[in-house]
Amino acid sequence: MLNRSRLTLTVALSTLLSNNLLIACQNNTPSPTSTPTATTGGQGDSQGLKLGSLLPVTGDLSTIGQNLPLAVKLAVDTVNACGGINGQPVTLVNEDDGTDPTSGASAMTKLTEVNKVQGVIGSFASSVSGAALDIAIRNKVMLISPGSTSPVFTERAKKGELKGYWARTAPPDTYQAAALAVLAKKKGFKKVATVVINNDYGVGFEQAFVKAFEKLGGTVINKDKPVRYDPKAATLDSEAAAALAGKPDAVLGVFYEDTGSLLLQAAYKQGLTKGVTFLLTDGVYSPEFTSKLGKSADGKSIISGSLGTVPGANGKALGDFTKLWKEKTNKEITAYVPHSWDAAIVLMLAAQAAKSNTGDAIKSKIREVSSSADGVKVTDPCEALKLIKEGKKINYQGASGNVDIDANGDVIGSYDVWTVKDDGKLKVIDQVTPDL
């Protein structure tokens, strides 16, 4: 059940959050009244906290990504309305990573070495976060992703490579893959093939799914010859044919929107989709994806009946956040918007708890504000700041979930099950949890 209690925001919030929120969020140039310049990448206490966002406003994940900077800005404006962090307003600098690791690395370098931010919300694509992380670590900047779900980050964290400068508010694909495997078994699929985008997201998900599905007694028929396609491919006819060659009951497809639509159209045109259910993931959870695919001769979506999973949002603060989001943006909440809000809030709460705006200081308090067993459970960011200033420990309960960040920077979440209707629209029909 959702918690419908109102956020305890000051009257100043309505002044700071104007009807121009959408335009303001897309402007990478901070306003003159809130743009103190930090002195070094991990420092800058005297100049106030400066955050960056590194999110896909353009590129293959832009359909999902366009709303994420709005959620970050809403979080910053909310906190500034109740006094800011460490006595000063928070500054936000937005960068578009273009869903591209090279562009993302360049933007991250700008944020850390030119803009001198101390924390970054991003990226969304795992491949972009992978490119950005070493830059963040080198500059001692805390990075919290709202959607990079590759298991690679967990593995790197366990080895000590990330040095604590990494966390995420969406659960890793080891959990989502296990949840999708549970869904596949529940639907009675015994033989599944896989076809995935050849990057950290796709390959990590594929490997986790194979392990989980086999554990449940299923068979992945192309396990020894996985189909992994080039993210920059212009045609995917051969990959589509290879994925469906063994007459599977279902096909796991781990895609981004543009290339995923190419592959599924290729499979349809070759007559390979009849009687096969596609199991999809969060990378294509968007109505724009199905509209790109088109319809069959009988007017139905060419992937009607397909099933997918996406990290759900069921946090105690979701009701309050939903109301605030609709009031300030006049939009419906889309996937990963609550996760972006939570990532920004946790960064700011950590800086306040540390009484310092440096990246090192923020890093040291991430788990304390998000998962303290003895902390006061609190959903309202302004109330959380008040408690921290009073010297009390808190356990922030977010909009996406409880945001209990562990030593590897991970959280555990539940997953919404969605399907593609005949008209191409997406509908959430169930929830599923991983069998861990």
How far, in Å, CA of 229 to CA of 136, rounded?
A: 29
Q: Judge whether 12-171+313-396 and 174-311+414-432 match in fold.
A: yes
Mean pLDDT score, 46-69: 94
How far, in Å, CA of 167 to CA of 314, rounded?
A: 19
Tokens 């991983």 -> residue: 434
How far, in Å, CA of 291 to CA of 122, rounded?
A: 27
**pLDDT at residue 17 tops 60:** no
The DSSP symbol for 85 reads B
| Per-residue pLDDT reduced to its tens digit, 117-131 | 999 999 999 999 999
Which pLDDT does position 138 carry in this prediction? Answer: 97
How far, in Å, CA of 407 to CA of 368, rounded?
A: 11
Domain ranges of the chain: 12-171+313-396, 174-311+414-432
CATH T-level assignment (fold) for domain 12-171+313-396: Rossmann fold (3.40.50)
Predicted confidence band of residue 433 (pLDDT cuts 50, 70, 90): confident
How far, in Å, CA of 139 to CA of 359, rounded?
A: 8
pTM for this predicted structure: 0.81
Class of domain 174-311+414-432: alpha beta
**Mean per-residue pLDDT of the chain:** 89
| Per-residue pLDDT reduced to its tens digit, 291-348 | 999 999 999 999 999 999 999 888 999 999 999 999 999 999 999 999 999 999 999 9
Q: Does 126 sit behind a cis peptide bond, omega within 30 degrees of 0 on the bond before it? A: no
Those residues whose C-beta lies under 8 Å from the C-beta of residue 299, and which sit 6 or more positions away, are 422
Mean pLDDT score, 96-120: 98
| Per-residue pLDDT reduced to its tens digit, 171-227 | 998 999 999 999 999 999 999 999 999 998 999 999 999 999 999 999 999 999 999
Tokens 């009849």 -> residue: 274
